[in-house]
Amino acid sequence: DQQVKQNSPSLSVQEGRISILNCDYTNSMFDYFLWYKKYPAEGPTFLISISSIKDKNEDGRFTVFLNKSAKHLSLHIVPSQPGDSAVYFCAASSGSSNTGKLIFGQGTTLQVKP
């Protein structure tokens, strides 16, 4: 039962262009969503998050959009840089529970070409 899905295993973009990573979820109890970035042989690092009361959150080159009715979120990176090449994980949690456990998608490998 994959409650958080990232249907694109990989994405390749040119430096300077926009990268759009997508994520779908099925559980309506999720009310907090996060994106993590992961380099090989390292742990995930937090990138950006969004609460379900918002539909957009922006932090520098990174913007996350949330469409609750479609149960879909996306991460936009503009402009993309070679250093952004990594695996990106979407994650979700339920703030109403007494555990902050995160449910992760399978990840999307982003390659930014110089």
Min. distance of Cβ 16 from other proteins in angstroms? 29
Q: Does 7 bind other proteins (CB under 8 A)?
A: no
Site for other proteins in 32-51 (CB under 8 A): 32, 36, 41-46, 49, 51
Q: Does 104 bind other proteins (CB under 8 A)?
A: yes
User: Six-digit token pair at 107?
Assistant: 């990840």
CB 78 within 8 A of CB 64: no
Among the candidate windows 13-21, 59-67, 74-82, 92-100, which touches other proteins by CB under 8 A? Answer: 92-100
Exposure string of 19-42, with b = 16+ CB inside 10 Å and e = fewer, is bbbbbbbeeeebbbbbbbbbeeee
Min. distance of Cβ 92 from other proteins in angstroms? 8
Q: What does DSSP say about strands 10-14 and 108-113: parallel, antiparallel, or unpaired?
A: parallel
Min. distance of Cβ 8 from other proteins in angstroms? 13
Among the candidate windows 11-19, 69-77, 78-86, 89-97, which touches other proteins by CB under 8 A? Answer: 89-97
* Nearest to other proteins of 5, 15 (CB atom): 5
Alpha carbon distance 25, 35 (integer Å): 13
Point out which residues pair with 33 in neighbouring strands.
Answer: 50, 92
